[in-house]
A = this chain, B = another copy of it.
Amino acid sequence: MKIVIDTLGSDNGAKDIIDACVEIYNLKKIQFVFVGEEKFLEKQLENKIEPKDYEIINSLETISNDEDPVRAIRKKKKSSMVMAFNRLNDSDCDGLISCGSTGALLSCGIFITGRIKSIKRATLAASIPTLKGNSLLVDSGANVDCKSEFLRDFAIMGDIYSKFVFDNKKPRIGLLNIGVESHKGNKLSKETYKLLKNEKRIDFIGNIEARDILNGTADVIVADGFDGNIALKSAEGMAVAILNQLKSALKSSAKTKFAALLFKSELKNSLKVFDYKEVGGAPLLGVNKAVFKAHGNSDKRAFKNALLLLIDYIEKDVISYLKEELCLEKNL
């Protein structure tokens, strides 16, 4: 198995990425293509990964989140993202992972790797740690102004990913909406409800409200990327706000500092369920090869967990199942 690693674009620099790869290398037979600053990479990899098991593609250029992605990938041919995706197109490469710009990754996936025949939109499927394990949010922000058929495809792809990578035998598919009743919602959600209800390939459990996501009510949550992204970031904002308030309260006096000492480990453990670093990355579903987006601020642990998911995704040959299932109906 050969994986292309875009080592640029991470908030924490390339070192954590390399360290994660080295740890995985010691566990599994994997070859790497590292794209990034050649000299730095050579130094980091020396005596850690055998020279036959890696290659380096030199690149010093990144694409930022502020740039228009489509324009950027056309203009920045020497950026690590574009070079990584070009290398992925060679038949010896099986997958790619990057911490870089989400928009650029999506654009490269669509324009360089290419969409699976019959799919109109590729989706970035975010893993959400819930009280009942991981749920998958499709779409998490890659596609806005969706049509109901796009959301139906997201549901089918999310279903397959959940089955193979999260080992859910029969994933429960829910539609993100502002009420659970079938008549609730906007034009898109009402149309999508009908499509999903009639879709035999999935176990559609109906609408789910944003407040129930973390309960693990659905294994796969289907949404337009605009709404999915708002749900994700709103929950994140609340988590940060509460934890900050909690920290201040615990630091407010000698008494509360003592209390903090007493239950620090239990608190950490109890909140671990919501730690996205346990999951680490999101697959770009609907393109012809295995592509993963790791968080921009991934540390070693987060990147390692994302890489493990990518390896699992490749080993189980999920892409083949996706192609089969998606082309089935349309006889392509």
Complex CA gap A235/B144 in Å reads 21
Max chain B Cβ within 10 angstroms of own Cβ: one of A226, A246, A252: A226
Would A239 and B242 count as touching, CB distance under 8 A? yes
Would B256 and A178 count as touching, CB distance under 8 A? no
What are 19 residue pairs bridging A and B, where the CB atoms are less than 8 Å apart in the complex?
A65-B179, A178-B230, A209-B233, A214-B240, A227-B227, A230-B230, A230-B231, A238-B238, A238-B242, A241-B274, A242-B243, A242-B271, A242-B274, A245-B273, A252-B266, A256-B263, A256-B266, A258-B259, A260-B263
Of all chain B residues, the one with the shortest Cβ separation from A247 is B270
Q: Does any Cβ of B come within 8 Å of A90's Cβ?
A: no
Q: Does any Cβ of B come within 8 Å of A220's Cβ?
A: no
Q: Which 7 A-B pairs have the closest CB atoms?
A: A211-B237, A259-B262, A210-B234, A144-B186, A249-B270, A234-B234, A235-B238
Chain A facing B: main interface SS: helix
Complex CA gap A210/B239 in Å reads 12
The smallest beta-carbon distance between A109 and chain B, in angstroms, is 19
Query: Would you give the 0/1 interface string for A40-74, flagging 1 where the beta carbon is closer than 8 Å to chain B?
Result: 00000000000000000000000001101000000
Max chain B Cβ within 10 angstroms of own Cβ: one of A179, A234, A249, A252: A234
Q: Does any Cβ of B come within 8 Å of A328's Cβ?
A: no
Q: Does any Cβ of B come within 8 Å of A24's Cβ?
A: no
Would A214 and B227 count as touching, CB distance under 8 A? no
Q: How many residues of A contact B (CB 8 A)?
A: 63
Q: Does any Cβ of B come within 8 Å of A229's Cβ?
A: yes
Q: Does any Cβ of B come within 8 Å of A12's Cβ?
A: no
Complex CA gap A228/B269 in Å reads 32
Complex CA gap A214/B231 in Å reads 14
What would 15 more interface pairs be, CB under 8 Å, given A245-B274, A259-B259?
A: A144-B187, A178-B226, A186-B224, A209-B233, A210-B230, A212-B237, A230-B234, A231-B231, A242-B243, A246-B270, A249-B266, A252-B266, A255-B263, A256-B266, A258-B259
Would B252 and A237 count as touching, CB distance under 8 A? no
Q: Does any Cβ of B come within 8 Å of A168's Cβ?
A: no
Complex CA gap A263/B258 in Å reads 9
Of all chain B residues, the one with the shortest Cβ separation from A226 is B186
The smallest beta-carbon distance between A246 and chain B, in angstroms, is 7
Complex CA gap A245/B271 in Å reads 7
Chain B residues contacting A243 (CB-CB under 8 Å) are 242
Contact of A226 among B183, B185, B214, B269 (CB under 8 A): B185
